[in-house]
Structure 1
Amino acid sequence: MRAVTPFLMFQGQAAPALALYLTLPGARLLHRQDTPEGRVQMAELELSGQRVRVTDSPVPHAFTFTPSTSLFLDCDTREEFDRVCGALGAGGEYLMPPDDYGFSVRFAWLNDPHGVSWQVNLPA
């Protein structure tokens, strides 16, 4: 096996999701190919060394993201934690708002405005 890569499939929201994710610390776009209609056919970005693939589904489907699968981010500083939570949480929904839950200095679990679930952690 060569690699395991998270794959996020959107329904018309891949471009704004990519724009949001590229504001995160350590994020960079590796590749993007759009359809003639302007939807994201395939994109790959890197989030702090982890490659993530993103696409817009060409076919409508009855399912979306669920918090049971999430991307877990460890932050280096409180400022970075606050900035990441602010960016991902704007227009999204907190499942666990930023707080000290006893297992790290600060933790938050949220769904971003595109439905992707994130766990943001500031380890001890």
Structure 2
Amino acid sequence: MALDSHLGHKFNFTPSMSLYVECESASEIEEAFRALADGGAELMPLDNYGFSHKFGWLNDRYGVSWQLNLSN
């Protein structure tokens, strides 16, 4: 759950807080990444970055940051 205050504040969503999701298959991570990227912004496209065979980081259309990792 994410909550926001009805009071004005000087901050917004940032990549410093992200949701991390372990995906079980290539098709699952590709579908999730594509859906979350629609209207959002890719920070790290799905790729092999050495620490993971397939990893991607993005902000969705609402500014929420997601890190997706292929678990196998």
TM-score (norm 2): 0.88
Q: Once the 2 structures are TM-superposed, how far is the Cα of residue 54 of structure 1 from its aligned partner?
A: 3.0
Larger radius of gyration: 1
Q: Once the 2 structures are TM-superposed, how far is the Cα of residue 59 of structure 1 from its aligned partner?
A: 2.1
Letter in 1 for 2:30: D
CA distance in 2, matches of 1:54, 1:70: 11
Task: Please give the secondary structure, in 2, of the residue aligned with 1:54.
Answer: coil
TM-score (norm 1): 0.54
> Aligned pair 1:81/2:29, yes or no?
yes
Task: Please give the secondary structure, in 1, of the residue aligned with 2:35.
Answer: helix
Counting strand residues as a fraction of each chain, which structure ranks higher?
1
Gaps of 5+ in 1: 1-52
Gaps of 5+ in 2: none
When the two chains are superposed, the root-mean-square deviation of aligned CA atoms in Å is: 1.3
Q: Of the two structures, which has the highest relative contact order with CA contacts closer than 8 Å and spacing of 6 or more?
A: 2
Number of equivalenced pairs: 72
